[in-house]
Amino acid sequence: MNMEPERYEKLAAAHAPKTKMWKNCGNAFWGGGLICVIAQGLKELYTHAAGLDAEDAGTLVSVTLIFAAALLSGIGVFDRIAKVLGAGTLVPITGFANAVVSQAIDSRAEGLVLGVGAKIFTVAGPVLLYGTLAGTFYGVIYWIVGLF
């Protein structure tokens, strides 16, 4: 079937499902906010109930969120939550944990070395690489500015 690009675009747009942008934005907003509220609640719990200082409590909150996201990814619940909350689940630490665990789960049939070991950082690797490079770059700029 030969069709002009403009006509094809109109036809495709007419049959494409309509996005629920406002609903998706709202879900991402309250979902990400809910994760942050949970994190703050954990920090308060660790600070007051466990008697940790703020820095140690913050570290323990990060570890708890990573563990929770990895566990939920491993048992298949994180994906169902992400379907509802969308981008709200990408609050950096939970989204990063999910990205790493998902790759490990997807490649486990290929074995521990060539599957999980080789592919676990497929998604997270570029984040680590460019995050480290950006941090180094900005650190050098901060150091240079501090000389003046």
In a domain, 7, yes or no: no
pTM, to two decimals: 0.70
Domain count, the chain: 1
Instruction: Name the DSSP class of 115.
Output: I
Domain enclosing residue 41, as ranges: 27-147
Condensed to tens digits (0 to 9), the pLDDT of residues 37-65 reads: 999 999 999 999 999 999 999 999 999 99
Residue 61 buriedness (CB in 10 A; 0-12 / 13-18 / 19+): buried
In a domain, 4, yes or no: no
In a domain, 40, yes or no: yes
Residue 1: pLDDT band by 50, 70, 90 thresholds? low
In a domain, 54, yes or no: yes
